[in-house]
Amino acid sequence: ILASKPEFMFDLLGAMATELRTGSKSLRTLMTNLKTGGKSDGTDAKDTLRVLCYDTTSWVSEAFKPAVEAFNKSHDDFQMIIDYTSERLGPQTATYAAGYEAVCTFVNDTADADTMQTLSRLGVSMIAQRAAGFDRIDTKAARAYGMTVARVPAYSPYAVAEHGIALLMAVNRKTSKASNRVKMANFTLDAGLMGMDIHGKTVGVMGTGKIGQILCNIILGFGAKLICYDVFQSEAVKKAGGTYMSQGEVFAQSDILFLMMPLLPATKHTINESMLPKLKKGVILINTSRGGLIDTKALLKGLRSGIISGVGMDVYENEQAYFFQDWSAKNIQDPDLLALLGEPGVVLTAHQAFFTKEAVNKITSTTIENLEAFKMGKHRLEHPNNCIPKDD
C-alpha cells in the first residue's frame, strides 16, 4: 500500500508525528510525577516549540545551545527545544523533521517544492533561515503549503564588506603566496609578488544595498574613484562621493570590480562569456555575495586570457556539495572547482565572509526571535522577517 500510495505514507507519518509530540509530552509529565511523588513545579506542563536544526556544524551548536538555554530560563510561557543534525535539508532528508513544528536552515539547505510538500505533510509549518539569503527556498511553494518562512535580514554587513576588502588585498598583494614562501625560508621578492596601489584606481561596485554602501565607504577611504551600478541608487553613496553609471560603463572602467548583488533570475551569471570583452583588461574581480552571479567556465576563460588578472571569491556557484565540509581526505569531483583551485590568480574562501563573533551572535538571537514570533502567532505574511511574497 505504501509503495503504491506514497501520499498515504506522508499522511501516516504526519499523524504519527502529531501523536509523538503529544505522547512525548505526556510521558515527560508522567516521569516527573513519579520522581517528585506527584508534585510538579509546572515546568513540564509548559508548551513547547520543537525545532530541527539542519546543516549543523560546531559553531552552530556552540552558539545556539547556550542561547536557547538562556531563552528557556527567561520564559515561562513556552520552552524551545532545538535538536541538531549535520544533514542538509532536501527532498531525501525532509522526513527527519517528523515530530517537529519548525526547521532551522542555512544557505546550502534546499527547500524546494518537493521538500515543502513533505515538511507540510509531517506537520512542519515554519522554516527559520539563519541567513539573509533565501534563494534555495521556494517561497511560492511555501505560500501554497501555508508555511511561514523567516530569515535574518541583516547580521553584520560590516563583516561581509570587510571580508571583500580582505580578498582584494590578498589577490592584489599576493599575501597568501608571500606568506607561504616566507614559511619556506624564501625571503626574495620577484614580479610574481608585485601588486598595485588601490589609491587612484577606479573601483566599481555592483549593488549598493546595506553591505554595498559600507563597502563604498571603505573604498573611498583608500582614495579610489568609486563608480556604482544599482537599480535603486543610494543618495548616501552619491553624497559620499560615488557616481552611478550603467552596468556597461562600470564594467568598462573598473580596475577592480565588486559584485554585491543578490542572486535573482536577472542577476544570475552577471559575469558570463559574452560580458568578458566588456570588462577592462586586467580587472580584479571580487565576489562575496552569491556564487551564481558568476559563470565559472567564463571566469576561467577570463583568467586564462588575461582579461581578469585575479579574483577573490567567498562563494562558488556549485558550492553546495563541498562548502562547510572537510574534503581534504576525499577526491573533489567538480572539474570547475578543481580548475579554480589550480589558478594562481584565485583566492577562494569557503563562504566565511559573514563569520565574525558579532554576526554569529546576531544570527543566533534573530533566529530565536523569529521562532518565538512564530510561536506567538506571527505566521506567514504577518511575521516581521517574512520571506514569502504576497499573492500576485
Q: Just list the catalytic residues.
A: 290, 319, 351
Taking the C-alpha atoms of residue 59 and residue 390, their distance in angstroms, rounded to an integer, is 34
Taking the C-alpha atoms of residue 258 and residue 305, their distance in angstroms, rounded to an integer, is 20
Q: Return the C-alpha cell found at 385.
A: 522577517
Q: 26 burial class (0-12, 13-18, 19+ CB within 10 angstroms)?
A: exposed
CB within 8 A of 185, min separation 6: which ones? Answer: none
Strand partners for 311: 285, 346
Taking the C-alpha atoms of residue 44 and residue 30, their distance in angstroms, rounded to an integer, is 9
Residue pair 259/271 in contact (Cβ under 8 Å)? The answer is yes
Phi-psi region for residue 332, left (φ > 0), alpha (ψ -120 to 50) or beta?
A: beta
Q: Return the C-alpha cell found at 219.
A: 573604498
Residue-by-residue DSSP string for 317-354? TTGGGTTTS--TTS----HHHHHHHH-TTEEE--S-TT
Residue pair 78/47 in contact (Cβ under 8 Å)? The answer is yes
Handedness of CA 21, 363, 54, 114 (dihedral sign): positive
